[in-house]
């Protein structure tokens, strides 16, 4: 019980809150997932849809979840029930999301670790070899080993309950990562490469593909796919529709300006994602052409070593720093995911932190092994309802981002928009007399636009329109 009490400590100030929430939000979603989706969906249109959704949709849901948390002061498993006694089931659905995400997040964390290790062992050249990534993931022992090391790091941090300790490093490393991403993004604009068949491509041409929407050949199904990808990415990146922000809100002090904090988290998170896209997409275009843009989850791992190699010797050092910081960003996010899984178990079953961490991290690791084996022993090519083909990792990713999260978000919109009414949230936001500038937009979003869009996309993602 004491343990439960001591967990509901509050952030001492709004900066502490923003940093912690941003630490959870900024992770592989921004640096690994956003660029590969933007590239797969052809750049400009995805970017446009993403930004529009972030300013309307993402903001409405993020602020709702943080407000639900702060109002109820409870973890997601019980918070929704407190808003309305029939809607407690949202907490259970929300709980399923981090449970599905965590195993594969650790697998990708392992990939980042492998690249970091490679650069630290002064083997930058090896990382640039064409078959490096594939031979790594198709080797079951290697991928499980690196995933295990990453998972153990997360386990130790959550087991000891020292995740607050990593905040200290986060204050230095996260801004450093941001600076580095800006630097590489600018550099990326100036690279040039000539193919074996004499075609020269430049970074600026790649940036144009990334920024300028190209509506040629856009079909309705393709447009829906892009919207679905952008929405799933938005949820994933902002850590919404999974209870995490409800938990963070419950730790937030009552006098913090909620809408300002939400704006900052959103700007930071979206800014890093956009820059990561600018860092990776022009480079992919330069080295691998338009075809290379369809690479999927391997995109960052294949393209970044090329950028570093083009820089010569200093590139190897830059690569070292880059993968180290990405590893750190991945760790702060994955720790927040495991923390969410563990703290709900502590709340629900009154388990001790140690017992809860051991059991949950153990189960999750077994699932991570299955995900790793999806690239070798259990390899198959699964066609997903949106038409793309993937392995076990993509299946997990699809289940959480394209099915479960929209479902949680839809239920949240109905609960807030129609059952409890938006006033529940707007009152919480303005309770110290703060101004809520986007109030009208918020109400329209949560009541009408978001639920309708979510329903359409949800039906699309389970294959109703295909």
Q: What is the 3-state secondary structure (H, E, C) of 288-346?
A: HHHHHCCCHHHHHHHHHHHHHHHCCHHHHHHHHHHHHHHHHHHHHHHHHHHHHHHHHHH
Selected binder of ligand PFF within 11, 18, 21, 30 (CB under 6 A): 30
| Smallest separation (angstroms) from ligand PFF to the CB of 443 | 26
User: Looking at beta carbons only, is 43 or 98 nearer to ligand PFF?
Assistant: 98
User: Looking at beta carbons only, is 109 or 422 nearer to ligand PFF?
Assistant: 109
User: Counting contacts by CB under 6 A, is residue 29 touching ligand PFF?
Assistant: yes
Selected binder of ligand PFF within 100, 244, 276, 293 (CB under 6 A): 244
Residue 310 half-sphere exposure toward CB, CA atoms < 13 A: 18
C-alpha to C-alpha distance for 248 and 10, rounded to whole angstroms = 9
Selected binder of ligand PFF within 20, 54, 77, 101 (CB under 6 A): 101
Q: What is the 3-state secondary structure (H, E, C) of 380-420?
A: CCEECCCCCEECHHHHHHHHHHHHHHHHHHHHHHHHHHHHC
Residue 95 half-sphere exposure toward CB, CA atoms < 13 A: 19
C-alpha to C-alpha distance for 160 and 25, rounded to whole angstroms = 22
| Smallest separation (angstroms) from ligand PFF to the CB of 422 | 25
User: Counting contacts by CB under 6 A, is residue 386 touching ligand PFF?
Assistant: no
Helix boundaries (H) for 190-312: 203-211, 220-238, 244-250, 258-292, 299-310
User: Counting contacts by CB under 6 A, is residue 283 touching ligand PFF?
Assistant: no
User: Looking at beta carbons only, is 224 or 338 nearer to ligand PFF?
Assistant: 338
- Contact stretch for ligand PFF (CB under 6 A) within 26-34, 37-45, 189-197, 434-442: 26-34
Check: CB of residue 93 under 8 Å from CB of residue 451. Answer: no
- Contact stretch for ligand PFF (CB under 6 A) within 1-9, 232-240, 384-392, 449-457: 232-240
User: Looking at beta carbons only, is 340 or 393 nearer to ligand PFF?
Assistant: 340
User: Counting contacts by CB under 6 A, is residue 451 touching ligand PFF?
Assistant: no
User: Counting contacts by CB under 6 A, is residue 237 touching ligand PFF?
Assistant: yes
C-alpha to C-alpha distance for 458 and 404, rounded to whole angstroms = 9
> Is 244 in a helix, a strand, or coil?
helix
User: Counting contacts by CB under 6 A, is residue 239 touching ligand PFF?
Assistant: yes
C-alpha to C-alpha distance for 45 and 413, rounded to whole angstroms = 26
Q: CA of 366: how far to CAs of 95, 103, 373, in Å?
A: 18, 8, 11
Element (H, E) at 194: strand 192-194
| Smallest separation (angstroms) from ligand PFF to the CB of 287 | 25
User: Counting contacts by CB under 6 A, is residue 242 touching ligand PFF?
Assistant: yes
Query: What is the number of the residue whose Cβ is closest to ligand PFF?
Result: 29
User: Looking at beta carbons only, is 288 or 368 nearer to ligand PFF?
Assistant: 368
| Smallest separation (angstroms) from ligand PFF to the CB of 406 | 15
Contact residues for ligand PFF, defined by CB under 6 A: 24-25, 27-30, 98, 101, 236-237, 239, 242, 244, 333, 336-337, 340
């Amino acid at each position: 019980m004491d343990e439960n009490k001591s967990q509901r400590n509050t952030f001492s100030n709004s900066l502490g809150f923003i940093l912690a929430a941003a630490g959870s939000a900024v992770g592989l979603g921004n640096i690994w997932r956003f660029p590969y989706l933007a590239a797969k969906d052809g750049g400009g249109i995805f970017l446009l849809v993403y930004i529009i959704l972030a300013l309307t949709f993402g903001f409405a849901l993020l602020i709702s979840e943080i407000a639900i948390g702060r109002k109820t002061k409870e973890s997601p498993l019980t918070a929704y029930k407190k808003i309305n006694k029939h809607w407690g089931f949202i907490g259970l659905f929300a709980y399923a999301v981090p449970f599905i995400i965590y195993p594969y997040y650790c697998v990708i964390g392992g990939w980042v670790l492998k690249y970091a290790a490679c650069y630290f062992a002064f083997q930058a050249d090896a990382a640039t070899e064409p078959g490096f990534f594939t031979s790594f993931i198709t080797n079951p022992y290697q991928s499980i080993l690196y995933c295990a090391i990453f998972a153990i790091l997360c386990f130790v941090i959550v087991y000891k309950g020292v995740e607050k300790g990593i905040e200290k490093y986060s204050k230095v490393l996260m801004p450093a990562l941001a600076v580095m991403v800006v630097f590489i993004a600018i550099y990326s604009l100036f690279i040039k490469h000539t193919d074996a068949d004499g075609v020269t491509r430049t970074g600026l041409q790649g940036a144009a593909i990334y920024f300028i929407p190209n509506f040629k050949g856009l079909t309705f199904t393709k447009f829906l796919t892009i919207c679905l990808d952008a929405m799933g990415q938005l949820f994933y990146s902002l850590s919404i529709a999974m209870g995490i922000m409800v938990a963070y809100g419950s730790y937030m002090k009552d006098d913090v300006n909620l809408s300002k904090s939400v704006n900052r988290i959103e700007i930071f998170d979206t800014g890093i994602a956009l820059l990561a896209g600018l860092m990776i997409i022009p480079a992919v275009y330069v080295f691998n052409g338009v075809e290379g843009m369809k690479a999927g989850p391997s995109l960052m791992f294949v393209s970044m070593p090329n950028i570093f190699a083009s820089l010569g010797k200093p590139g190897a050092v830059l690569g070292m720093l880059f993968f180290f910081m990405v590893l750190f960003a991945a760790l702060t996010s994955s720790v927040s995911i495991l923390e969410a899984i563990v703290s709900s178990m502590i709340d629900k079953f009154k388990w001790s932190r140690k017992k809860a961490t051991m059991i949950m991290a153990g189960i999750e690791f077994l699932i991570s092994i299955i995900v790793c084996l999806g690239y070798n022993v259990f390899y198959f090519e699964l066609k997903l309802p949106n038409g793309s083909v993937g392995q076990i990792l993509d299946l997990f990713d699809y289940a959480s981002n394209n099915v479960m999260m929209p479902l949680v978000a839809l239920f949240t919109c109905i609960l807030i928009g129609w059952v409890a009414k938006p006033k529940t949230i707007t009152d919480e936001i303005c309770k110290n007399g703060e101004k809520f500038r986007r109030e009208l937009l918020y109400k329209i979003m949560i009541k009408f636009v978001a639920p309708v869009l979510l329903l359409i996309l949800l039906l699309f993602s389970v294959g109703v329109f295909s």
